[in-house]
Amino acid sequence: MSEAAGSPFTPEQEERIIVTAMDLAREGLTAELLDFLDHRFPVDTRDHGGNTALMLAAYHGHAETVRALLDRGADVDRRNDRDQSPVAGALFKGEEEIVRLLVDAGADLDAGSPSARATAAMFGSTHLIESEGA
């Protein structure tokens, strides 16, 4: 958030806003999260671990929130500080609907460590990405 010059918020206020937005994504509170985005909260803002709202919504199984974030232009391949991608996180958690949403949105199945392809192989979920040439 602080990327924008002249932020009206102190660093502490910015941190609280980011934490609140990420909690909304983690909990699947789509309407409330979209209110943040409607008030110029950047869709690809990262938390202290480098996670975006898309990463957290995908990992916690909130398909409606994932869909809404993708519709708002969230970067489907933005990895966190541990080099994990949203699609690999969804595969790890067995979130089939979310994997399909992310693959349909163009997720890079080879990005990150482990990649989505490697994660799918580890968990016997290659059928979820086979249409993409896994």
* Domain residue limits, the chain: 10-65, 83-134
Average pLDDT of the chain is 92
Would you state the pLDDT for residue 6? 63
Considering only CA atoms, which of 65, 74, 130, 121 is closest in space to residue 98?
65
Residue 32 pLDDT exceeds 60: yes
pLDDT, residue 105, reads 97
Q: Which two tokens stand for residue 75?
A: 């970067």
pLDDT in tens, 56-89: 999 999 999 999 999 999 999 999 999 999 999 9
The rounded distance, in Å, linking the Cα atoms of 50 and 44 is: 10
Give the residue with greater pLDDT, 129 vs 108.
108
Q: Is 10-65 assigned to CATH 1.25.40.20?
A: yes
> Which pLDDT score, from 0 to 100, does residue 134 have?
40
What's the N-to-C CA distance of the chain in angstroms?
36
Q: Quickly state the pLDDT bin for 9 (edges 50, 70, 90).
A: confident
pLDDT at 49 over 60: yes
| SS3 call for 48 | coil
